[in-house]
Structure 1
Amino acid sequence: MAEQTQSPTPAPAATTESPDGGRRRVIAMTVWGVAFVVAWLAIGLPTDPAYAFLWIWAGTIAWNSARPWRSHLRFARDWIPVVLLLAAYNLSRGFADNGATPHAMELIVADRFLTGWLTGGEVPTIWLQERLYDPAEVRWWDVLVSWIYFSHFVATFAAAAVLWMRNRRRWIAYMARWGFLCAAGLVTYFAYPAAPPWWAAQNGLLTEVARISTRGWKEVGMHGAGNLLNAGQIASNPVAAMPSLHTAFALFVVLFFMRSARKRWWPLMLSYPLAMTFTLMYSGEHYLIDVLVGWAYVGMTFLVVGLAERWWAARQARRPGEPAVAAGAPPADGDTAGDTPDRAAGDREAVPAERR
């Protein structure tokens, strides 16, 4: 009699759902979102580095709520030095003028030289406000300008938080460039303290310029949204105009992620630093020359830090038994769990490998 063979039981299909996904994540993120909106309306949008860090940390806890607490504490361990450095940066920037009169006239002359053929000899801020600003009415673009201006305080932080969760090596490369850019800007603030257009107008160097970067929130009923930002503007030292780190940060974030994005998305990505440029000039916060120098600092940052990474990789390669891996290189297949902080099954890389 022929022997009967029993077909093997098919293996269950592998689940692709992340253990952090589903109802638990939705509930946690909903609670976080509601709490954020309540605090935003009552206290203000998170523009202080420490306050922004607390909200981003809470957001990562909500997103990865199923992970053990040691993972969340590791986030705090890695980020607290960064927050302290940013707080020191903000504090030291306030002493940049050393009581001296900041540079202003040179910036006015530079902007008139760059754009005078289009603006009739005016700086871009005055030309834009004459055509778009109405003291008696808040337009839709004023609301948009307020949101774009605020994004400076969270976009760089949020991108870094995503990188920390997805790809630690890219996070290290990102933080090295961000730190270098902040340091270069701070050195310039001390070496060349410069004032923005609204300061020049207050001191008689320009005709009237309104500082309008936060006026849009009141139009949509969010009167408390800019509380922290308004307080920060009042207390801030007005000599941090050159270079514009607002637009430098915007371009930096975009350029860091551009090489891993499809080219069809590049125009949309580049629209962010361009929108920030318009926002800063229209709202009286920066001259065009500030923006151009900020962009130049971004290019210098990628060049200098990239060279330093390659030098370090070559130096490590000369040591026997140690692999040479640049900080900005994507992790290889054999990377250990320590390279990517507690990534759960099914989580996808925030920054995919470069497409060839």
Structure 2
Amino acid sequence: MSISEARDARVDDDGGDQRAPDPRSTEVAHRPSWVRNPTWWRRIALVVWAVAVVAMFVHNGVSMDRTGLLVFLCSGLAAASIGRRRIITVVVDWLPFAAVLVLYDQTRNVAQWMGMPTQWWLAVAADRHLFGGVEPTLWLQQHLKEATPPWWEIITSVVYVSFFVVPYAVAAVLWLRDRVAWRRFAVCFVLTSFLGLVGYTFVPAAPPWAAARCAPAEVVDHPRNPSCIDGLPDPDGGLLGTATPEHMGAAPEVERISARGWDVLHIPAASDMLQVGQSKANLVAAVPSLHAALTGLLALFMWPRVRALGRTLFVGYALIMAFTLVYTAEHYVFDILLGWGLAGFVVIVVELTRRRWTAHRTRLRERAHG
């Protein structure tokens, strides 16, 4: 019996009748336990959210719209917060983070306004220097690419598109478990993104698939958007050259094949959505690779926060992303190394700043109590 029911049921000192119980208390007491348990409501809300996400994916394919992704993510966090913390904390924490990232999206085309000369040969020369005259993307497609996508290109396509989801999913888990660590990760994420923006604003560079479509004479003046970039691969291999493919029917030129795996899964909507998104993106924002930078950031940031299995997964994710980017002609190895270097720089700067700030606060506290 609850306290309110006991109070209502007590007998008068003179032996009078008991008070009638409060109908509302009686109604609550007779509700099933799961109705009063927020865990059940949280589970129901999460199931509804997950079904909605899967339905949107199947119907609309893979979307690279950051705003839509953040809305879906925050709605999932709101569901996961039922019975754990106030739902308003989702808005308080994530709205500034989302606003900064939306600002980043709005300023990505500042590179076009700057009009800096596009680097077509820089990364090609760097890769050939690193690999003894061999261009890695051309070599990989020569030895691995087939006329139609093999089953394992499902992995490369999923890994490539996971970049638009995984960093945010990790951020969401961090937010649920440790909001202090989440804030630090959010700072690293934003810094990496904006420093990457600075990189490809002042050093716009063409990726391998674009270099394979343009003959050297077509890019001698460092154009940003030559007509060849929208065409088919150059019969002579463009800046990368041609090779003899090991698999019959495979094209000897380098092709952009990051979306081919979705055809194996018979999800054409996913492939179409990805290709549309790629066509609207900055086509000469290869230096540094943000795919490599943010997956490298995940590995570095999560290393001290997870055990051996987690470390293996995060480092493995960064490595398989690197392979995917090079094989599918999205980035050069040069771009990836710069991306990893950027991630390392950001993590070191944020950690040193945190330590200095902590030491400064400690000194102030000691003076106040001294």
- TM category (shorter chain) comes to 0.7 to 0.9
Deviation at residue 27 of structure 1 after TM alignment:
3.0
1:73 aligns with 2:88: yes
Deviations 1:256-308 (A, max 9, x none): 11112223543333111000000000111100011111111111111111121
Q: Select which of 207, 219, 240 maps to 1:196.
A: 207
**AA in 1 matched with 2:188:** R
Distance 2:90 2:139 in 1: 46
State the match for 2:44 in structure 1: 27
When normalised by structure 1's length, the TM-score is: 0.77
Given the superposition, is the C-alpha separation of residues 42 and 269 from structure 1 closer, same or farther in structure 2, using an over 3 Å criterion?
A: same
Confirm or deny: 8 A CA contact 1:96 1:239 kept in the other structure: no
Q: What pairs with 1:311-350 in structure 2 (closer than 5 Å)?
A: 311-320=356-365
Deviations 1:215-253 (A, max 9, x none): 211221211124443222111112211111101111111
1:225 is paired with a residue whose SS is helix
Confirm or deny: 8 A CA contact 1:93 1:189 kept in the other structure: no
Confirm or deny: 8 A CA contact 1:316 1:322 kept in the other structure: no
Confirm or deny: 8 A CA contact 2:322 2:336 kept in the other structure: yes
Deviation at residue 314 of structure 1 after TM alignment:
2.4
Deviation at residue 109 of structure 1 after TM alignment:
0.8
- Structure 1 unaligned runs (5+)? 1-18, 324-356
Deviation at residue 66 of structure 1 after TM alignment:
4.0
Deviations 1:140-181 (A, max 9, x none): 121111110111111111111111222111111111111221
- Structure 2 unaligned runs (5+)? 1-36, 216-238, 242-252
1:83 aligns with 2:98: yes
**AA in 1 matched with 2:91:** A
State the match for 2:182 in structure 1: 171
Deviation at residue 73 of structure 1 after TM alignment:
2.8
- Is the helix fraction higher in 1 or 2? 2
State the match for 2:134 in structure 1: 122
Distance 1:46 1:55 in 2: 12
- Runs of 4+ in structure 1 over 6 Å off: none
Distance 1:183 1:281 in 2: 23
Relative contact order (C-alpha < 8 Å, sep 6+): which is higher? 1
When normalised by structure 2's length, the TM-score is: 0.75
State the match for 1:105 in structure 2: 121
Deviations 1:46-93 (A, max 9, x none): 42211111111122233334457xx22321232122222222222322
Q: Select which of 166, 176, 180 maps to 1:155.
A: 166
RMSD between aligned alpha carbons?
Answer: 2.1
Q: What pairs with 1:185-334 in structure 2 (closer than 5 Å)?
A: 185-204=196-215, 205-207=239-241, 208-263=253-308, 265-320=310-365
Distance 2:176 2:115 in 1: 43
1:319 is paired with a residue whose SS is helix
Report how many aligned residue pairs link the two structures. Answer: 297
Deviation at residue 107 of structure 1 after TM alignment:
0.7
Given the superposition, is the C-alpha separation of residues 213 and 304 from structure 1 closer, same or farther in structure 2, using an over 3 Å criterion?
A: same
State the match for 1:352 in structure 2: none
**AA in 1 matched with 2:46:** M
Deviations 1:22-64 (A, max 9, x none): x444433322222111111222224221111111112223333
Identity %: 37
Distance 1:150 1:72 in 2: 29
